[in-house]
Amino acid sequence: MGALAVTLAAVVSVAVRRSRRRCPASLTVRVSVTPLRRVFPFCFPRVRWGGLVLACLLALLVLGPAPVVAQSGGSGEQAESTEQAQSEPLELSEVLQQTQQASDELGSGLLLSDSRLTYWRQRLPQLRQRAAAIEAEARGQVDSTQRLLDALGPPPEDGHEPRPVATERDRLQQQLNNERARLKQAQLAIARADELLGQVQSASRERFTSRLLVRGPSPLTPQTWVFAGEQLTSSLSQLVTVIASADHLKRTHDDWLNIAGGALAIVLVSLVIAWLLRRILLQRFGRTPQAEPPPTLVRLTGALLHTLFYLLVPGLAMSALYAYLEAVGLMQGLLDQLALNAALAVAFAFLIDGLARAVTAPEASAWRILPVSDPCAVRVGWIARVGAIVFGADILIVRMGRVLQAGEAIAVVHHLLFGLIVSALLLALTRRDIWQPPELDESTDEALKAARRKARTWAAIGVLALALSVLGSIVFGYYELSRYIITRTILTGVLIGLLLLLHAVAREGITTIFQMTRLRTTGRRQEDSTTPILQFWIGAGVDVLVLALGVLLALPLWGVEWNDLWAWLRDALMGFTLGGVTISPFDLALAIALFVVVLSITRVIQRTLDTRVLPQTRLDIGVRESLRTFTGYLGLIVAGLIALSTAGLNLSNLAIVAGALSVGIGFGLQAIVNNFVSGLILLFERPIKVGDWVVIGQHQGYIKRIRVRSTEIETFDQSSVIVPNSDFISQSIINWTHTNRVCRVIVPVRVAHGTDTQEVHDLLLQVAREHPHVLRMPEAHVLFMDFGESALHFELRVFARDTDYFLSLASELRFAIDQKFRESNIVIPYPQRDLHIRTGTMDRGRARIDRPETDIPEQGTTPASGGPDGD
């Protein structure tokens, strides 16, 4: 076996090197991975070492499974033939026969073995799936045959029917009866498979529970320790006796010396080769000390490669030794099982030790995955190594105890010691100097320190709860339950750690992708404000996926079988009945997806109409906006109908519900419905449209947008006024641009009395004719409006080409009129007021205060005294 592995390694290495020399496409590959090498330099070493690494992996794969294959013997061929037989599609009769066989075996109750129970647990879902396929096929045949019979129509009442038609009718009727019978049998097989699967799951749960809750002797009684010593002595003597009495071990002294010498040589050669190979690989692919820590994915890749390189020496040595001992014929019977269990224990111990070295990385802190200091990394590494030895010894003792059929007393004592040691190790991981090491600088953030203290507190509470549950179970005799709790808890912790690493890698990848996108778009355009929002929601989706993956992987660890989990997921996705209504999350998700897709297509059509189609027409902007809005409403209605039909909602039931809610809608949502209907009227009748200049109440401005409930008006001071649609239907509005954009501008003008009115008339018309924005038709005209008290009143009335010139045209006409009047010496008077000022001395003013008050004369009259002062 070792020679075969070395040969494969050499062949693969030579093949890769020759492919690099001959294949010019390698240049393209190197160019294509250059950007990725800049981002992740550790993941892309030189290609010439790829053959060596691949050869080592192949060697481990070839050497690792060899003992298992040798042990299984012919069971592999039997499993292969069974799998080949099960891969062929079964007929309905075979499905019914196998379901009947399962029913007979399950009816035997406790006589059914665990292996057969596991077999039916895996086989019944396959039978049900095949029966469901047959049912779907039979249902299609029934529908097709029924359509053919309906095409022939009912038989005539007098019984006289052409013979070919009657023959075909009989044949189709017989075929329909056969297909219906086949459909019923398939439905029966499905129902029977579901019932049997429920029985299998119930029996499996009962056996699982009974196995965990089996009660043995308590370790607190002295008899347990006495029985444990006796059982240990008996098991060791049995092992020695079986090994000593084995025929393949009865050899001469020279044979044993030759075997020992060969084994020693094989081990030394394999150790030297593996050590040199690991040294070369570590120098080439090892984690070099650096100041800045590499990305999370690079650190994980480095830890994985470091673990593989660390396992290379013991793995190659044990594989070579096992292959040699198997070749000389020693690996048989109990010795083979002992060697396999010992190899498994040693491999598991080295695996934990290698992972601890890779994760803590005491020699390269930049590559460390755990956020701890150097002394803490050393402490955690030592605790992990002790745990590796403990778990390796536990695997060997448990597996050999099952082989030798040791008693319950040994199991109780073993689980007690194992639980105590593991609890002590877990408590050692909650030490204060690990979570809050003194190496932390005083400048460390207080929030980080508080988070560390909180995490340590919860970790200590969890470890204490685990230790109490494990030790309590052992004390009361439930040793299997104690082992189940401690192993599943540790595996769950490992799973949580792996999921956290996966989450960190995914988040880091998302951040890197968005950073590269920002760098690529820098200088071309302004960064989109939706990019952080998109990054947040993608990260939230990754969080949900990681959480769902963790739940799906954690449930089987705690006893939930994959078949049960898949059945629950299938039932939950395909639908469940609630109050007579079948709710299918899968159909709901599909309906939501179709709704979003149809709505997105509608938005694309609207955008295409806005940018490409409608600008090529002569329609004004109001008609374009109406068409765009109508397209959006139509797409929304179509998307809603498709989503409702996909979700399986009955529209008749929906109509009943809508009728029941019509009264509530009429009273509670009257204003909303009124505005919605008014919006539809505005879109079709089009008294206003986007771009119109309207005046409604105290507000005026341009129509910017007509929505379902309201209309947005942008005033001239750039503020937005939201007006309900019903106001445009129920109130009078002024639309300056309803039919055209021509508007009339009136400029009032006043001149002094005595001015030549004809000259004023001619100057005003000249100003109007000279302005480019004044229309020639209708003509401008001047009106003499009134004789005022201090001026003559005229009005210049002109028509502007567009309402946009309404204010600017009036202002420009006033400038021009002022200039013309200055040139012609025409005066624009202002109202005159007479101001009377009384004068006098301070004494007279004081004497006037003492006089009695008199009535103030009206304007235009003279006081009775005849003087302004009354003198």
| pLDDT (tens digit per residue) in 388-410 | 888 888 888 888 888 887 777 88
- Which pLDDT score is estimated for 17? 42
**How sure is the predictor about 33, in pLDDT bands with cuts at 50, 70 and 90?**
very low
Question: 628 or 771, which is more confident?
Answer: 771
- Which pLDDT score is estimated for 25? 36
Q: Name residue, tokens 């009115």.
A: 757
- Which pLDDT score is estimated for 747? 93
- Which pLDDT score is estimated for 68? 34
pLDDT at residue 85 greater than cutoff 60:
no
Mean pLDDT of 327-334: 78
- Which pLDDT score is estimated for 530? 62
| CA distances to 52, 273, 323, 359, 427 from 277, in Å | 10, 6, 20, 22, 38
CA terminus-to-terminus distance, the chain: 145
Helix axes 296-327, 333-360, angle to 10 degrees: 160
- Which pLDDT score is estimated for 582? 64
Collapse the DSSP code of 559 into the 3-class scheme (helix H, G, I; strand E, B; otherwise coil) and give the result: coil
Structure tokens, 565: 């989990």
Of 133-137, 205-209, 366-370, 469-473, which gets the smallest average pLDDT?
Answer: 366-370
- Which pLDDT score is estimated for 814? 92
Share of the chain above pLDDT 90, in %: 5
Residue 693's closest CA among 719, 716, 722, 726? 716
Residue 764's closest CA among 777, 779, 742? 779
Alpha helices in 328-445 (DSSP H): 333-360, 374-404, 408-429, 432-435
pLDDT at residue 20 greater than cutoff 80:
no
Question: 34 or 690, which is more confident?
Answer: 690
Of 157-161, 435-439, 510-514, 689-693, which gets the smallest average pLDDT?
Answer: 435-439
Mean pLDDT of 659-688: 72
| pLDDT (tens digit per residue) in 256-272 | 788 888 888 888 888 88
Q: What is the DSSP letter of 774?
A: B
| Number of other CB atoms surrounding residue 94 within 10 Å | 13
Q: Enumerate residues 6+ apart whose C-beta is below 8 A from 230.
A: 409
CATH 3.30.365.10 fits 743-823, yes or no: no
- Which pLDDT score is estimated for 355? 78
**How sure is the predictor about 75, in pLDDT bands with cuts at 50, 70 and 90?**
very low
The answer to whether the CB of 331 falls within 8 A of the CB of 1 is: no
Q: In the chain, where are the structural domains located?
A: 3-66, 104-154+165-212, 224-408, 650-735, 743-823
Of 25-39, 465-479, 490-504, 630-644, which gets the smallest average pLDDT?
Answer: 25-39
Residue 692's closest CA among 627, 741, 624, 728? 741
Residue 102's closest CA among 115, 90, 91, 116? 116
The answer to whether the CB of 384 falls within 8 A of the CB of 356 is: yes
The answer to whether the CB of 16 falls within 8 A of the CB of 46 is: no
The distance from CA 178 to its chain's CA centroid, rounded to whole angstroms, is 48
Question: 364 or 772, which is more confident?
Answer: 772
Mean pLDDT of 121-140: 87
Q: Enumerate residues 6+ apart whose C-beta is below 8 A from 434.
A: 372, 376, 379, 380
- Which pLDDT score is estimated for 798? 93
- Which pLDDT score is estimated for 396? 84
CA distance 292 to 167: 88
**How sure is the predictor about 353, in pLDDT bands with cuts at 50, 70 and 90?**
confident
Which CATH architecture fits 650-735?
Roll (2.30)
- 744 has which bridge partners? 799
The distance from CA 280 to its chain's CA centroid, rounded to whole angstroms, is 42
Residue 116's closest CA among 210, 196, 209? 196
Q: Name residue, tokens 């095409």.
A: 151
The answer to whether the CB of 657 falls within 8 A of the CB of 581 is: no
The answer to whether the CB of 123 falls within 8 A of the CB of 94 is: no
Average pLDDT, the chain: 75
pLDDT at residue 1 greater than cutoff 50:
no
Mean pLDDT of 312-320: 82
Q: What is the largest CA-CA distance in the chain?
A: 165
- Which pLDDT score is estimated for 437? 65
Mean pLDDT of 547-556: 85
pLDDT at residue 243 greater than cutoff 90:
no
Q: Name residue, tokens 């539809």.
A: 680
pTM over 0.85: no
CA distance 780 to 504: 77
- Which pLDDT score is estimated for 578? 58
pLDDT at residue 89 greater than cutoff 80:
no
Structure tokens, 533: 């929002």
Structure tokens, 694: 């309207």
Question: 245 or 27, which is more confident?
Answer: 245
| CA distances to 103, 130, 131, 365 from 99, in Å | 6, 12, 11, 60
Reported as type and span, the H/E element at residue 699 is strand 699-706
pLDDT at residue 293 greater than cutoff 80:
no
CA distance 805 to 802: 6
- Which pLDDT score is estimated for 28? 33
- Which pLDDT score is estimated for 54? 39
| CA distances to 555, 599, 628, 631, 638 from 634, in Å | 46, 10, 10, 5, 6
**How sure is the predictor about 666, in pLDDT bands with cuts at 50, 70 and 90?**
low
In 563-629, beta strands by DSSP E: 576-578, 581-583
Question: 56 or 193, which is more confident?
Answer: 193
pLDDT at residue 47 greater than cutoff 50:
no
**How sure is the predictor about 38, in pLDDT bands with cuts at 50, 70 and 90?**
very low
CA distance 624 to 614: 6
- 710 has which bridge partners? 724
Mean pLDDT of 727-742: 83
| pLDDT (tens digit per residue) in 592-603 | 888 889 988 988
Question: 437 or 403, which is more confident?
Answer: 403
Residues in the chain: 871
In 482-623, beta strands by DSSP E: 576-578, 581-583
Mean pLDDT of 501-522: 74
Residue 636's closest CA among 666, 593, 581, 595? 595
Residue 516's closest CA among 533, 494, 495, 531? 531
| pLDDT (tens digit per residue) in 776-835 | 888 898 999 999 888 899 999 999 888 878 888 899 999 999 999 999 888 888 776 666
Share of the chain above pLDDT 70, in %: 76
pLDDT at residue 333 greater than cutoff 90:
no
Which amino acid makes up residue 198? G
The answer to whether the CB of 218 falls within 8 A of the CB of 475 is: yes
The answer to whether the CB of 315 falls within 8 A of the CB of 63 is: yes
In 579-649, beta strands by DSSP E: 581-583
- 703 has which bridge partners? 713
CA distance 746 to 782: 10
- Which pLDDT score is estimated for 290? 67
- Which pLDDT score is estimated for 583? 67
Q: What are the φ/ψ torsions at residue 361 (nearest 5 degrees)?
A: 45, 65
Of 31-45, 122-136, 153-167, 204-218, which gets the smallest average pLDDT?
Answer: 31-45
The answer to whether the CB of 251 falls within 8 A of the CB of 330 is: no
Percentage helix, strand, coil for the chain under 3-state DSSP, each rounded to 5? 70, 5, 20
| Number of other CB atoms surrounding residue 640 within 10 Å | 14
CA distance 246 to 337: 14
| pLDDT (tens digit per residue) in 211-235 | 788 887 888 888 888 888 888 888 8
Of 8-17, 204-213, 731-740, which gets the smallest average pLDDT?
Answer: 8-17
| Number of other CB atoms surrounding residue 570 within 10 Å | 11
- Which pLDDT score is estimated for 815? 93
| pLDDT (tens digit per residue) in 557-574 | 887 777 667 767 766 666
Mean pLDDT of 121-134: 85
| pLDDT (tens digit per residue) in 463-495 | 888 888 888 888 888 878 888 888 888 888 888
Mode of pairing for the β-strands spanning 581-583 and 720-724? unpaired
Residue 698's closest CA among 711, 688, 713? 713
CA distance 120 to 127: 10
- Which pLDDT score is estimated for 7? 37
- Sheet (strand 781-787) strand order: 743-751, 792-800, 781-787
- Which pLDDT score is estimated for 15? 40
- Which pLDDT score is estimated for 519? 58
